[in-house]
Amino acid sequence: MRTNRLKCATLLKGVALLCGAGIAASSVPAAVAAGQGASLNKPNVIFILTDDLGYGDLGVMGHPYVESPNIDRLANEGLQLEQAYTAAAWCSPSRAAFMNGVYPAREFNANKWVLPADRPTLTSMLKEAGYATAHFGKWHMGHKKGAPPPADYGIDENFGTQSTGAVWTDKEMKQKHHRERTAARYVDLSIDFMTRKKNQPFFINLWVHNTHAVLKPTPEQKAVYKDLEVSIDDFEYPLQREFLEFIAKHGNVQKAMRAYCADVTAVDKEIGRLLDSLAELGLEENTIVIFTSDNGPAPVLKIGDWDQIVPRFKKDPALMNCVGSAGPYRDRKFALHDGGIHVPFFIRWPAKIKPGIDRDTLFCGVDLMPTLAELVGVAAPDDIDGEDLSAAWLGTPQVREKTLLWSDNSRWLALRDRQWKAHLQGDTVRLYNLNEDLSESNDLAGAYPEVAGKYFKTLKQWEISIYPKGASESKAGGKKKKNLNH
């Protein structure tokens, strides 16, 4: 069983990460040195982002059925950050925070969900440092007329969906099982790119989207689980069992689970090809591979009123295939409870990162840009929300300097520190001790009024800073909902 015990850790800054000019050639196997050539001084980076994959949706994360041997291997050979969060509870803003290190509530959401091209991004930062850059897969940060092209973000090569760059044709997208076959193309492109760029440092966004609703795996993909017999009692956590009972009430949970597991395993197979190619090219030792998800699992369930989705189930029964697991956490995608924002997060870099599990460091999507900047030896922008947590990646857990903050709309704001999670809806604050209450079930605002008052003030200040005209709307629209914790 995976636990989330938060412990005291020492803040460590200014670590010498790349040992002067870079990793010494003598410390790298000869085959790797031959394969990497000029890229030896800077690590390659591959950022694998999955879509709507829940915290508990992998074998390594405790799923009783999913077969994910390649992702599990990646996790076990690298560092697992157990306290990792996205900066938003749904796709677009979460992705924007990974790219520019800024809470999406500050700029991105107000910019009609278009990633600003006038501020540095992860890709533009690395391109200026001499990296070849590519984005393969879902973009979803501005694809309509007038949105910037990929080159404006420092992206050399691109292909995918919901982008102003190269995308699938209408004919391709209408083919049966289109989405379930996309990961293979994205991995093919990634392998080709790193083969051509192996003599210089490269960065790849590999953003797959198989597990996004609606799931319709191919017959070949489903065949892996044709004999699976689902028992809801096989799931450890009560909230996931409750959700699966809801699915069983309205449809066939056996078929739904087989389909979902098939989709995850299909992605795992393609990631396995990528990892094998890295090794074959001699690039494995000095390549940072990052794996995570953009938010919690689908489908979107209205808090306190799950039955509102039943008509959608009837319209498209395949929507019920979204039976991903948020593990011990409450709610799913679009919710600021941990089920919507707490995600698996693995980093493998054989040259520098030792395998293990960091249960202490709070890591958020906004931290990716400054952390990678430090690791590859470039300067991150000063005006971002993210923090450099590279020391944690290298084995020393860190304590954040700033509290984590969230808001996807003016009706719900949240924060998290090492012990407490607080939510603000209107003038109602809820408070949870995550050391003892992972599912955010026991509201302690009444028991700890000073703590609740402190965080109420912090969240109100956060609200005013990002919704200067909408604070009153939040107060008016934030009436306490019935069954808020369900």
The candidate with the shortest Cα–Cα distance to 312, out of 324, 326, 299, is 299
Task: Please give the structure tokens belonging to residue 108.
Answer: 């991105």
453: pLDDT strictly greater than 50 = yes
Task: Report the pLDDT value the prediction gives residue 40, as an integer from 0 to 100.
Answer: 52
Task: Report the pLDDT value the prediction gives residue 6, as an integer from 0 to 100.
Answer: 30
Count Cα atoms within 13 angstroms, Cβ side, for 191.
Answer: 18
The candidate with the shortest Cα–Cα distance to 331, out of 309, 362, 299, 363, is 299
Specify which residues 287 forms β-bridges with.
44
* Phi, psi for residue 167 in degrees, rounded to 5: -135, 170
Spell out the domains of the chain, with CATH numbers in brackets. 25-402 (3.40.720.10), 410-477 (3.30.1120.10)
For the segment 388-404, the average pLDDT, to the nearest whole number, is: 96
Task: Report the pLDDT value the prediction gives residue 213, as an integer from 0 to 100.
Answer: 84
Task: Report the pLDDT value the prediction gives residue 10, as an integer from 0 to 100.
Answer: 32
| Number of neighbours of residue 1 by Cβ within 10 angstroms | 6
Task: Report the pLDDT value the prediction gives residue 35, as an integer from 0 to 100.
Answer: 40
Average pLDDT of every residue of the chain? 89
Task: Report the pLDDT value the prediction gives residue 39, as an integer from 0 to 100.
Answer: 44
Position 110 confidence tier, pLDDT thresholds 50, 70, 90: confident
Q: What is the rounded distance in angstroms from the CA atom of residue 282 to the CA atom of residue 454?
A: 53
pTM for this entry: 0.89
20: pLDDT strictly greater than 60 = no
**Each residue's pLDDT tens digit, 292-324:** 999 999 998 988 899 999 999 999 999 999 999
Task: Report the pLDDT value the prediction gives residue 33, as an integer from 0 to 100.
Answer: 43
Question: Using H for helix, E for strand and C for coil, what is the string for 307-343?
Answer: HHHHHHHHHCHHHHHCCCCCCCCCCCCCCCCHHHHEC
Task: Report the pLDDT value the prediction gives residue 469, as an integer from 0 to 100.
Answer: 72
DSSP 82-105: TTEE-SSSSHHHHHHHHHHSS-TT
32: pLDDT strictly greater than 50 = no
Q: What is the rounded distance in angstroms from the CA atom of residue 417 to the CA atom of residue 436?
A: 14
* Contact between residue 367 and residue 84 where contact means Cβ atoms under 8 Å apart: no
* Contact between residue 380 and residue 125 where contact means Cβ atoms under 8 Å apart: yes
**Each residue's pLDDT tens digit, 172-231:** 999 999 999 999 999 999 999 999 999 999 999 999 999 998 899 999 999 999 999 999
8: pLDDT strictly greater than 90 = no
* Contact between residue 164 and residue 147 where contact means Cβ atoms under 8 Å apart: yes
Task: Report the pLDDT value the prediction gives residue 470, as an integer from 0 to 100.
Answer: 57
What Rg value do the Cα atoms of the chain yield, rounded? 22
Amino acid at 59: G
* Contact between residue 466 and residue 106 where contact means Cβ atoms under 8 Å apart: yes
For the segment 437-441, the average pLDDT, to the nearest whole number, is: 98
Task: Report the pLDDT value the prediction gives residue 145, as an integer from 0 to 100.
Answer: 87
31: pLDDT strictly greater than 80 = no
Q: What is the rounded distance in angstroms from the CA atom of residue 365 to the CA atom of residue 100?
A: 9
The structure tokens 């679009």 sit at 334
Amino acid at 54: G
34: pLDDT strictly greater than 50 = no
Task: Report the pLDDT value the prediction gives residue 21, as an integer from 0 to 100.
Answer: 32
For the segment 447-455, the average pLDDT, to the nearest whole number, is: 98
Query: 177: helix, coil or strand?
Result: coil
138: pLDDT strictly greater than 50 = yes
